[in-house]
């Protein structure tokens, strides 16, 4: 069966782009540039709207939804060719841009004077770039789906742990999407059980919530134009799950983690559901600048950490913090655009081309 062209949900691209910038702000906070924890903003109960850790879990929910949505529309039947086409596109989506960043950082770390973070006040920075890998160690990190080594302090791109989760989740997504089409509610229940017995990574539960929302999406109907009690109730529920981690006593937090694994993941899924339900929010996000930012979000995510490490190393310790911050944002945007334009986008086109060829084979 030839692949169909799915209707693209542009507002979800925009939402992913905003989530990436929340993650970038989180890493700047870890690097010691500023802290929401000492500001009045931290006291606002629904700080979940600019929570970088929540944004990371939102990525997994978002990815589970988008991949399932496209799989349902492009490949309506389970089968070897459809699965092969899906895997080809997924590999070319994740690996080429990652390999490009990995090689560039390796070249810098291997041939240039290695920066250190000994002058930094940030414990987060000092734990990374502990050694300079050789070529064999580079090959191990290039595998990505299996972490060789697993220690983030020894990896060139320490934020690539999320991509390892993406690889694992992508591998089992066809089984999730095609296997639970009739009874989607069973998917998070089964995933929760497998996480509890430690057969699956906990982050796969967040991913499964996105898959479940995608399986129910055709039944949701037209988005509402006026926020009602249902939407207010969902927002309060999202806040409740978020608060179990942020402000509840330790006993309450431990109880929430024991039963919900990642309470913030449930909060992210509910926020995602609100995006699917509220029409005026979709229209607000459906703007060209936000959509473009969302489409380069993968490249933004890849380039911002090594560039931050470079600018916050001892080599630039005497530089004005405002200048470094300006260089960080401008460099992140430029490098992300270059990576997207010359590596990520061609790889996506190649993935579509090869997937179509697989579909057309007799």
What DSSP line would sit under 77-99, residue for residue? S-SHHHHHHHHHHHHHHHHHHHH
Q: Which two tokens stand for residue 226?
A: 């006026």
**pLDDT of 186 higher than 90:** yes
- Name which of 5-9, 209-213, 306-310 the model is least confident about: 5-9
Q: pLDDT tens, 247-286? A: 676 666 688 888 999 999 999 999 999 999 999 999 999 9
DSSP H stretches of helix in 153-222: 161-179, 186-196, 203-216
Count CA atoms closer than 13 A to 115's CA, side-chain side. Answer: 23
Q: Residue 68's pLDDT is what? A: 96
On whether the CB atoms of residues 149 and 140 are closer than 8 A, the answer is yes
Which band of pLDDT confidence, cut at 50, 70 and 90, is reported for residue 244?
confident
**pLDDT of 26 higher than 50:** yes
| Interior/surface letters 68-92, b for 16+ CB within 10 angstroms, e for the rest | bbbbbebbeeeeebbbebbbbbbbb
3-state SS assignment for residue 341: helix
User: Please, which residues bridge with residue 224 across strands?
Assistant: 278
**pLDDT of 1 higher than 50:** no
- Name which of 249-253, 301-305, 344-348 the model is least confident about: 249-253
**pLDDT of 362 higher than 90:** no
Tell me how far apart the alpha carbons of residues 211 and 70 are, in angstroms, rounded to a whole number: 11
Q: Residue 37's pLDDT is what? A: 55
Tell me how far apart the alpha carbons of residues 217 and 275 are, in angstroms, rounded to a whole number: 12
Distance of CA 87 to the CA centre of its chain: 19
On whether the CB atoms of residues 170 and 67 are closer than 8 A, the answer is yes
Which band of pLDDT confidence, cut at 50, 70 and 90, is reported for residue 2?
very low
Better-scored residue on pLDDT, 319 or 359: 319
Mean pLDDT of 118-130: 89
Q: What is the DSSP annotation of 243-299?
A: HHHHTS-HHHHHHHHHHHS-HHHHHHHHHHHHHHHBHHHHHHH--HHHHHHHHTHHH
**pLDDT of 32 higher than 90:** no
For residue 168, CA distances in Å to 151, 196, 202, 207, 301 come to: 18, 18, 12, 10, 19
**pLDDT of 295 higher than 70:** yes
Mean pLDDT of 215-243: 92
What is the four-CA torsion angle of 152, 154, 159, 162, rounded to 10 degrees? -60
Q: Residue 249's pLDDT is what? A: 63
Q: Residue 99's pLDDT is what? A: 98
**pLDDT of 211 higher than 90:** yes
Nearest CA to 30 out of 201, 143, 164, 158 is that of: 158
User: Please, which residues bridge with residue 278 across strands?
Assistant: 224
- Name which of 81-90, 248-257, 321-330 the model is least confident about: 248-257
On whether the CB atoms of residues 189 and 252 are closer than 8 A, the answer is no
From the CB of residue 129, how many other CB atoms can be counted at a distance below 10 Å? 22
- Which residue's entry shows tokens 């990520």? 344
Handedness of CA 64, 66, 69, 72 (dihedral sign): negative
- Which residue's entry shows tokens 């579909």? 359
Helix 80-111 and helix 135-143: axis angle, to 10°? 150
- Name which of 35-39, 212-216, 234-238, 305-309 the model is least confident about: 35-39
**pLDDT of 70 higher than 80:** yes
Query: Chain-wide mean pLDDT for the chain?
Result: 90
**pLDDT of 231 higher than 80:** yes
Tell me how far apart the alpha carbons of residues 121 and 31 are, in angstroms, rounded to a whole number: 8
DSSP 342: I
**pLDDT of 191 higher than 80:** yes
Mean pLDDT of 87-99: 97
Mean pLDDT of 70-88: 85
């Amino acid at each position: 069966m030839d692949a169909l062209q799915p209707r693209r949900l542009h507002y979800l691209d925009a939402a992913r782009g905003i989530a990436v910038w929340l993650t970038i702000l989180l890493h700047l906070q870890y690097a010691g540039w500023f802290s929401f924890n000492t500001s009045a903003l931290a006291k606002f109960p629904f700080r979940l709207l600019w929570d970088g850790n929540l944004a990371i879990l939102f990525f997994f929910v978002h990815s589970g939804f988008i991949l399932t949505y496209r799989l349902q529309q492009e490949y309506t039947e389970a089968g070897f060719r459809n699965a092969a086409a899906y895997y080809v596109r997924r590999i070319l989506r994740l690996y080429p841009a990652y390999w490009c960043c990995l090689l560039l950082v390796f070249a810098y770390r291997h041939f240039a004077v290695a920066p250190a973070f000994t002058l930094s006040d940030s414990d987060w920075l000092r734990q990374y770039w502990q050694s300079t890998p050789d070529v064999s160690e580079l090959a191990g990190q290039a595998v990505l789906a299996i972490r060789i080594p697993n220690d983030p302090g020894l990896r060139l791109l320490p934020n690539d742990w999320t991509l390892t989760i993406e690889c694992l989740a992508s591998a089992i997504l066809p089984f999730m999407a095609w296997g639970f089409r009739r009874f989607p509610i069973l998917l998070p229940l089964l995933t929760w059980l497998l996480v509890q017995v430690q057969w699956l990574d906990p982050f796969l539960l967040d991913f499964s919530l996105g898959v479940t929302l995608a399986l129910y999406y055709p039944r949701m109907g037209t988005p509402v134009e006026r926020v009602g009690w249902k939407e207010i109730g969902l927002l309060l529920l999202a806040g409740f799950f978020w608060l179990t981690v942020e402000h509840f006593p330790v006993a309450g937090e431990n109880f929430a983690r024991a039963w919900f694994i990642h309470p913030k993941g449930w909060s992210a899924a509910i926020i995602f559901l609100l995006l699917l339900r509220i029409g005026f929010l979709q229209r607000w996000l459906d703007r060209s600048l936000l959509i473009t930012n969302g489409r380069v979000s993968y490249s933004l995510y890849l380039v911002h950490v090594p560039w931050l490490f470079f600018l916050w190393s001892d080599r630039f310790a005497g530089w004005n913090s405002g200048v470094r911050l300006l260089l960080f944002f401008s460099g992140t945007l430029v490098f992300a655009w270059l990576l997207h334009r010359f590596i990520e986008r061609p790889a996506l086109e190649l993935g579509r081309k090869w997937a179509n060829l697989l579909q057309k084979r007799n």
